[in-house]
Amino acid sequence: MKPALPELHPVSGLRLGTACAGIKQANRPDLVVIELCEHSTVAAVFTRNAFCAAPVTVARQHLTQTLPRFLLINTGNANAGTGQQGLADAQTCCDAVAETAGCAREQVLPFSTGVIGEALPIEPLCAGVPAAIAALAEDGWTQAASGILTTDTVPKGASRQLQIDGRTVTVTGIAKGSGMIRPDMATMLAYVATDASLPSELLQTCLDTAVAGSFNRISVDGDTSTNDACLLMATGRSDIVVGDADSEAFAALCDAVSDVCEQLALAIVRDGEGATKLITVEVSEGRDEAECLQVAYTIAHSPLVKTAFFASDPNWGRILAAVGRAGVTELDLDAVRLYLDDVCLVRHGGRDPDYREQAGQAVMDRDEIIVRVMLARGEAYARVWTCDLSYDYVRINAEYRT
């Protein structure tokens, strides 16, 4: 269910340092600094939650002012719902990095994750910055993957290498996320980097495409965080310049970035709070993608569907009810088909005559399951990943602040 962290190839021109600042717990990695070489370009997407966290606001502002040189990421406290003091605290954190590293405040992007509504513990956080900077190393990805976790049970990373014009280009990323997952423009925290060189506009296009098919297609519990952020960074140290949106090089790089983002997104769902199953919801034959997504998310967010998956109960009526209440107008019920993997559950408006409970049970007993819905209305398709809803999800979130 939860694979081990794979090999994470270093990205030339980028270094990561991790420290224990004691923000929420003693002796736990909770502070990460990422250093970018000069002239690196950065693309970003952030949460659309109206109550976005202070570091999101500050990071957005700094991105409009100059090219970033450092990222500062803390866990244990979200610095969200903290008003003007939260904004001032986020800037103070940037000052701490700037003073230690010798750069401008605006060249630092802050990121936070953890409990909402509590003041950021500035003193231990700022005191931990020098140690994180002293630990900067190109092979610091593994430590950083652990240093950004909150309720996650495993670190999450992915890495790909590809050939462009006979040279090796690397794409590596890490992410954190386990609960409060229904991204809106991003997902929790994710940092992806490449050593190719791209102008900011192309880099943003690459990131937007990757996020649309990965982080924006997952849901653990239907909640969008106040702190969601995803960054794609290009250091240019491979000497491969990708400057044409219509080139084969750009297409190949976008494929690699999308692959890394998809692997990180799947890792988040697999590590959903209390999750025991990875569920893929595929909706096809819709009139448009929006309609397909509407049906897919209705299934993915249904507590009754998710608890049935946790119990390994082939109670397909819950899935059928979710399709029926998804708001699709003029739905021809006799034409809709519903499958668990390759087992047909519903056709012609009711249970498939050939369906046997044993076949449905065999699918439900698996750790990874595909729900397939055919709407018979067109050629559109959409896919969403989610997980089951277990006792542990309630326990983890009931005890989150204790």
User: Which positions are annotated as active-site residues?
Assistant: 187
- Cβ pair 108, 68 in contact under 8 A: yes
Contact between residue 11 and residue 160 where contact means Cβ atoms under 8 Å apart: no
Structure tokens at 259: 């692959």
Report DSSP letters for 193-216, one per residue: EESSB--HHHHHHHHHHHHHTTGG
Give the whole-angstrom CA distance, residue 102 versus residue 8: 29
DSSP code of residue 105? G
What's the distance, CA 376 to chain centroid?
Answer: 31
DSSP state of 73: E
Q: How far apart are CA 249 and CA 256, in angstroms?
A: 11
H/E stretch holding 98: helix 83-101
Half-sphere exposure (Cβ direction) of 178: Cα atoms closer than 13 Å = 22
Looking at residue 63, its amino acid is L
Rounded distance between C-alpha atoms, residue 313 and residue 318, angstroms? 10
Q: How far is CA 85 from CA 70, 119, 124, in A?
A: 22, 8, 17
